[in-house]
Amino acid sequence: MITYQDKIVQNITKQFDGMSKIEVYDILQKIESLLLDFNTPIQFKEIKNALETSSRKNNVTAVDEYGYCYLDDCCQYLNIYKIKSLFPTFLGGESLYFTIPGQYELIHYDNRNIEEAFSNMHLEPIVSHFLKYNPVKKRNPKTKRLLLLELFDQIDP
């Protein structure tokens, strides 16, 4: 018979399906350090508010008077940003931009720009092979993470 705690562990670990172990360890460490600031019993609303507040402080930057950008995801080789405008986008799709280490200008996230950014780098053959078979905006259906970032996470720096 499975205990109550084991059921909770199953429900939580179900969220890790498809992730690498290092990502899971990073998340668990973040959860552990986050819980230090809260009293028992744990209130999800308090944790959610704290995460949203800290995320806004650390990751949101004004682009101009008509919008802002925020860090959507990152790995050791690439930072992905989303642009949110105060005006609705009629064309649809995501407004994704990226930077690579040592570069601070946002570049539109598309196949051509990614290929140019990684040309003359040790990752060039890997990126070229990836883009030959996948569009750059393709996501993992389980984790909803960009496949290129998942690929980069598997490469040692």
Distances (CA, A) of 118 to 64, 131, 142: 28, 12, 27
Instruction: Judge contact between 151 and 130, C-beta under 8 A.
Output: yes
Instruction: Report the distance separating Cα 85 and Cα 155, nearest Å.
Output: 34
What three-state secondary structure class fits 71? Answer: strand
For position 14, what pLDDT does the model report? 87
- Report the range of poorest mean pLDDT among 26-35, 60-69, 91-100, 106-115: 60-69
Distances (CA, A) of 52 to 35, 45, 56, 156: 15, 11, 6, 31
Instruction: Give the pLDDT band (50/70/90) at residue 94.
Output: low
For position 69, what pLDDT does the model report? 76
For the chain, the C-alpha Rg in angstroms (whole number) is: 19
Please confirm whether the linkage preceding 41 is cis (ω < 30° from 0). yes
Give kind and range of the element (H or E) at residue 35: helix 21-35
Instruction: Judge contact between 149 and 133, C-beta under 8 A.
Output: no
Q: What is the pTM of this model?
A: 0.62
- What's the average model confidence in pLDDT over 8-21? 86
Instruction: Report the distance separating Cα 113 and Cα 123, nearest Å.
Output: 14
Instruction: Judge contact between 131 and 114, C-beta under 8 A.
Output: yes
Structure tokens at 122: 């040790």
Pairwise pLDDT comparison (1 vs 100), residue with the higher score: 100
